[in-house]
Chain A
Amino acid sequence: QLQLQESGPGLVKPSETLSLTCTVSGASINSDNYFWGWIRQPPGKTLEWIGSNYNGGSSFYNPSLESRVTISADSSRNQFSLKLRSVTAADTAAYYCVSLMPGGLPVLDVWGKGTTVTVSS
């Protein structure tokens, strides 16, 4: 059974880089079947797609965040990661790692439990 688990600092200072990792169990991050991704949700607000990574290779990003975001994969650890640069208070949110439905249909089939990140000095 596919499971995802986010990890990373819960507090980041303004202008610094937010770094989160998602550990995948139950599937290989290099599998042709899966897209991996990140979603965030500011407190009391709706969900926002950050970006996705396919097969541990190509990545695609929300145009509104593209200049600050990198999603990459580490095959040796079966993990993928999110880096968001130059953060501000507006980046305070719960961050979820997700997998898209096997075969590539872009619906979010499996979610991590989420991790809360606060941007504050």
Chain B
Amino acid sequence: EIVMAQSPATLSVSPGDRATLSCRASQTINRDLAWYQQKPGQAPRLLIYAASTRATGVPARFSGSGSGTEFTLTISSLQSEDFAVYYCQEYNNWPSLTFGGGTKVEIK
């Protein structure tokens, strides 16, 4: 079983600042990684897949990088609507899928 670890658990950021979120896999997953954004009371929304490909309609301020076991989601200039919880998900072990524990991005 692949374990996905996200850090930090909570990130306090001022609007307009850059946010960097990390996701680590317990074994190599190549680039088989997606990122999701979830706002309170809403379903998650796909942001990034294949480690760095933005999903349709996702603003360019969201970018993903990494391969193997270490991955990063960067939000270049935080907007008010970006304060949310972010989850990474591996799919290297399909048909099994595993999510990380999430990072909450809150207003500083």
Residue numbers of A with Cβ under 8 A of B are 46-49, 52, 60, 62-63, 96, 101, 105-109, 111-114
Contact = CB atoms under 8 A, between A and B. Distances in A.
Given A48-B99, A105-B50, 19 more contacts: A46-B87, A46-B99, A46-B100, A46-B102, A47-B44, A47-B89, A47-B99, A49-B98, A49-B99, A52-B95, A105-B49, A105-B91, A106-B95, A107-B49, A107-B89, A108-B34, A109-B46, A112-B43, A113-B43
Interface string B28-65: 00000010100000111110011000010000000000
B97 interface: yes
**B interface, by DSSP: helix, strand, loop or mixed?**
loop
**A interface, by DSSP: helix, strand, loop or mixed?**
loop
Contacts of A96: 43-44
B66 interface: no
A49 B43 contact: no
A107 B91 contact: yes
Contacts of B96: 49, 60, 62-63
A47 B87 contact: yes
A46 B102 CA distance: 7
Nearest to B32: A106
Nearest to A54: B95
A48 to B, nearest CB: 7
A48 B101 CA distance: 10
Nearest to A48: B99
Contacts of B89: 47, 107-108
A39 to B, nearest CB: 8
Nearest to B85: A46
B15 to A, nearest CB: 26
Interface centre among B94, B95, B96, B98 (most CB of A within 10 A): B95
Interface centre among A63, A101, A107 (most CB of B within 10 A): A107
A111 B99 contact: no
Contacts of A109: 46, 55
B30 to A, nearest CB: 13
A38 B49 CA distance: 19
